[in-house]
Structure 1
Amino acid sequence: MTRGKGIAIGLVAATAIGLLIAWAVYAFERKTVDIPLPPKGEAVYNPLYALKIALVNDRQRVHSRPYLFDDKHPLQAGDTVLMLADPARLSRRESDALRAHVARGGHLVVQPPVALLDDDADVPLLEGFGVGKHAFIDDVCMQMTAKRDVPEGADPMEALQGIFERGLLCDDRFALYEDAEPTIEWGDKEGYAFARFRHGAGTIDVVATLDPARNAGLRRDYNAALVRQLLQPNWGRGTFHLVYASQMPPLWRLMAEYAWQALLALALAVAAWLWMRMQRFGPRLPAPPEARRSLLEHVQATGDHLYRYGRAHLLHAALRAHVLAKLRRKDAVAAALEGDVQAEVLAKRTGLPAADIADALRSPRPFDAKDFRYRIARLIALGRHT
Structure 2
Amino acid sequence: MSRRGGFIFGALLFLLLGLFLIWLLNKIEPYQETIAHGASPEARSNIYLAAESYLRKQGLTVAHADGLEVLNDLPAAGHTLLLLADRSRMTPRQADRVLDWAAKGGHLLFVAEALYDEDDGKSGDLLLDRLGVQQYESEDLDEEDSEDAEQSEATESEEDAATEEDVESDAAEDDPQQAQGEEEAPAEADAEPEDEDRYPELTKLYLENEDAPAYIDFDTGFHLYDSADRAHAWANSGNATHMLQMNHGDGLVTVLTDSWIWQNNNIASHDNAWLLWYLTQDTSVTLLYRAERDDLPALLLRNFPEALAALALLIALVLWHVGRRQGPQLAPASRSRRQLEEHLRASADFLMRRSGKQVLLQGLQRDILRRARRRHPGFERLAVAEQWQVLSRLTRMPTAAISQAMRPLPKQRLSASEFTRQVAHLQSLRNAL
- Return the TM-score normalized by structure 2: 0.45
Shift of 1:10: 2.7
Q: Is 1:132 paired with 2:134? A: yes
**Residues 166 and 58 of structure 1: is their aligned pair in 2 closer, same or farther, counting only changes over 3 Å?**
closer
**How far, CA to CA, are the matches of 1:108 and 1:170 in structure 2?**
21
The equivalent of 1:245 in structure 2 is 290
Which residue in 1 is equivalent to 2:59?
A: 59
| Contact 1:86 1:112 (8 Å CA) reproduced | no
Matched AA of 1:201: D
- Alignment gaps of 5+ in structure 2: 140-198, 207-211, 297-433
Residues 154-208 of structure 1: per-residue CA shift (max 9 Å, x gap): xxxxxxxxx8995621444233154332111222453211100111110100011
* Mapping for residues 128-277 of structure 1, pairs under 5 Å: 128-133=130-135, 135=137, 141-144=201-204, 168-188=217-237, 190-220=239-269, 222-232=271-281, 235-236=282-283, 239-247=284-292
> Measured at CA, do residues 194 and 93 of structure 1 come closer, stay the same or move farther in structure 2, by a change above 3 Å?
same
Which deviates further from its counterpart, 191-200 or 113-122? 113-122
- TM-aligned CA distance change 1:190 to 1:90, over 3 Å: farther
What is residue 23 of structure 2 aligned with on the other side? Answer: 19
- The AA in structure 2 aligned to 1:204 is V
2:231 partner SS = coil
| Structure with greater contact order relative to length (CA < 8 Å, sep ≥ 6) | 2
- Summarize the Cα distance change of 1:165–1:132 in structure 2 as closer, same or farther, 3 Å threshold: closer
CA distance 1:116–1:35, shift in 2 (3 Å): farther
Q: Which has the higher helix share?
A: 2
For residues 14-72 of structure 1, the C-alpha deviation after alignment (integer angstroms, 9 at most, x for no partner) is 21112212432xx334x47474542223x332222222222223332221122222277
Q: How many residues align?
A: 227
Q: Are residues 56 and 249 of structure 1, via their aligned partners in 2, closer, same or farther at CA, if it must alter by over 3 Å?
A: same
Letter in 2 for 1:141: E
Question: 1: CA distance between counterparts of 2:27 and 2:11?
Answer: 24
Could you state the TM-score of these two structures normalised by the residue count of structure 1? 0.50
Bigger radius of gyration:
2
For residue 80 of structure 1, what is the amino acid of its counterpart?
Answer: T
Could you tell me which amino acid in structure 2 is paired with residue 186 of structure 1? A
Displacement of 1:85 in angstroms is 2.6
1:19 and 1:45 mapped to 2: Cα distance?
52
Unaligned runs of 5+ in 1: 147-162, 252-386
Structure 1 residue identity aligned to 2:291 = S
Counterpart for residue 76 of structure 1: 76
Q: Residue 245 of structure 2 contacts residue 255 of structure 2 at CA under 8 Å; is this kept in 1? A: yes
C-alpha contact 2:203 2:238 (8 A) present in aligned 1: no
2:145 counterpart residue number: none
Q: Which moved more, 1:201-210 or 1:32-41?
A: 32-41
CA distance in 2, matches of 1:174, 1:164: 19
For each residue in 1:299-339, what CA deviation from the matched residue of structure 2 results, as whole angstroms up to 9, or x when unmatched? xxxxxxxxxxxxxxxxxxxxxxxxxxxxxxxxxxxxxxxxx
Root mean square deviation of aligned Cα: 3.5
Change (3 A) 1:88 1:79: same
Which residue is equivalent to 2:99? 99
Amino acid at match of 2:229: A
